[in-house]
Chain A
Amino acid sequence: MARVWRFGDSVNTDQIIPGRYNLTTDWAALGRACFVELRPDFTSGVRPGDVIVAGEDFGCGSSREHAVIALQAAGVGAVVAPSYARIFYRNAINRGLTLLECSDLGSLADGAEVELDRISGVLREASTGREWRARPLPEFAQRIARHGGVLELVQAHGGLRGECGPDCGSGLAPVPGGESDVR
Chain B
Amino acid sequence: MGTLMEEIIAAHLGRSVVAGDTVVVPVDLVMSHDTTTPLVADQLARLGRGVKHPERAVVVLDHVTPAATVAAAQQHQRCREFVAGQRIGSLLSDGICHQVLPEHGLVAPGDIVVGADSHTVTLGALGALATGMGSTDIAVAYATGETWLRVPATIQVRLEGSLQPPVSAKDLVLELVRRLGSDGARYQAIEYTGPGAASLPMGDRMTLSNMAVEMGAKAGIFAADEVTLRWLDGRSDRPCRVVTARDPGYSRSEGISLTALEPMVAPPPAVDSARPVRELAGLAVDQVFIGTCTNGRLADLAVAATLLRGRQVAVRTVVVPASREVYLEALRAGYLESLVAAGVAVESPGCGPCLGRHKGVLGPGERAVTTMSRNFRGRMGDPSSEIYLVSPATAAATALRGCLTDPREVV
A residues near B, CB below 8 A?
A: 10, 12, 14-15, 18-20, 22-25, 37-38, 56-57, 60-66, 68-69, 83, 85-88, 90-91, 94-95, 138-140, 149-151, 154-155, 159-161, 183
Complex Cα distance, B64 from A10, in Å, reads 27
- Expressed in whole angstroms, the Cα–Cα distance for A10 and B214 within the complex equals 11
Across-interface contacts of B377 in A (CB, < 8 A): 14-15, 37-38
How far is B158's CA from A114's CA once the two chains are assembled, in angstroms? 47
A160-B216 in contact (CB<8A): no
Do residues A19 and B150 form an inter-chain contact, with CB atoms below 8 A?
A: no
B136 touches A151 (CB 8 A): yes
Q: List 29 A-B contacts (CB under 8 A).
A: A10-B182, A12-B376, A14-B377, A18-B378, A18-B383, A19-B357, A20-B357, A22-B35, A23-B35, A37-B378, A38-B377, A56-B183, A57-B186, A61-B374, A63-B116, A63-B133, A68-B134, A83-B183, A83-B186, A85-B183, A86-B186, A86-B216, A87-B132, A88-B134, A90-B133, A91-B134, A150-B137, A151-B43, A155-B47
Contacts of B35 in A (CB 8 A): 22-23, 64
Residues facing A in B69-116 (CB within 8 A) are: 69, 71-72, 75, 116
- A64 vs B286: C-alpha distance when bound (angstroms): 29
Q: Is the CB of A160 within 8 A of B146?
A: yes
Nearest residue (CB) in B for A24 is B71
Q: Which of A23, A56, A69 makes the CB contact (< 8 A) with B64?
A: A23
Chain B residues with CB below 8 A from A37, complex form = 377-378, 383
B136 near A150: Cβ-Cβ < 8 Å: yes
Majority SS at the chain A contact face:
loop
Contact call B118/A63, Cβ cutoff below 8 A: yes
Contact A64 B216 (CB under 8 A): no
| Chain B residues near A (Cβ < 8 Å) | 22, 24, 35-36, 38-39, 42-43, 46-49, 64, 69, 71-72, 75, 116-118, 132-137, 139-140, 143-144, 146-148, 150, 182-183, 186-187, 216, 218, 270, 355-357, 374, 376-379, 381, 383
Give the residue name and chain of the A residue nearest to B24 (CB). A160
**CB pair A60 B182 closer than 8 Å:** yes
B218 touches A86 (CB 8 A): yes
Instruction: Name the residue on B nearest A159 (C-beta).
Output: B144
Residue of B nearest to A89 (CB): B187
Of all chain A residues, the one with the shortest Cβ separation from B381 is A20
Taking a contact as CB atoms under 8 Å apart, the answer to whether B47 and A87 are in contact is: no
Asked whether, in the complex, the Cβ of A19 is within 8 Å of the Cβ of B355, the reply is yes
A94 touches B132 (CB 8 A): no
Contact of A10 among B118, B134, B270, B356 (CB under 8 A): B270
Residue A60 contacts which of B36, B72, B216, B356 (CB distance < 8 angstroms)?
A: B216
Contacts of B355 in A (CB 8 A): 19-20
- Docked Cα-Cα span, A154 to B143, in Å, equals 9
**B134 touching A64 by the CB < 8 A rule?**
yes
Q: Check A90–B71 contact: CB distance below 8 A.
A: no
Q: How far is the CB of A47 from chain B (nearest CB, A)?
A: 25
Q: Are the CB atoms of A19 and B379 closer together than 8 Å?
A: yes
Given A63-B132, A87-B133, A23 contacting B182 (CB threshold 8 A) = no
B47 touches A94 (CB 8 A): no
